Amino acid sequence: MSMNDDVTAWRYLADEAKAGRLYLDASVATECRDACNRQIDLYEGLREQLKQVRTVTGFGRFDCSELLAQMLGAKAIGGAGDVDTALKEHIEVVGLIRETIEVSVARYETQQQEAKDKQDQLLN
């Protein structure tokens, strides 16, 4: 499954949660949401660290040293298949997972409150 497939799948699930067709147990969902937040924080931290390796030096005065430094720096940020783009894509997917979980939990909690309110009305 490609990253685009992951994004498409989680957008679908987020829409299902918004439409009220996907529910998760609140306690499990809370743990999953917290794990998503930790993962996003980790990826964001890694993206910050990539800025330190964008500029590569120390190859000496060889004919190809500058080209090699540019190629390695581009693998960190800005080149084809760079790590920064991969991390951004992962952040997007984990963000969609978190959104799906949050919507599901909100709907679940609303339904629980509505059921409690109805029960209270019947008892009064």
In this predicted structure, the answer to whether residue 3 has a pLDDT above a threshold of 80 is no
In this predicted structure, what is the pLDDT of residue 91?
96
Name the residue with higher pLDDT: 91 or 12.
Answer: 91
pLDDT mean over 23-47: 90
63-122 pLDDT per residue, tens: 888 888 888 889 999 999 999 999 999 999 999 999 888 887 787 778 888 888 888 888
Whether residue 28 contacts residue 101, with contact meaning beta carbons closer than 8 Å, is answered with: no
Burial 55-83 (b: 16+ CB within 10 A, else e): ebeeeeeeeeeeeeeeeebebbbeeeebb
Name the residue with higher pLDDT: 29 or 92.
Answer: 92
In this predicted structure, the answer to whether residue 1 has a pLDDT above a threshold of 80 is no
Mean pLDDT of the chain: 87
Looking at the chain, how many residues does it have? 124
The three-state secondary structure class of 26 is: helix
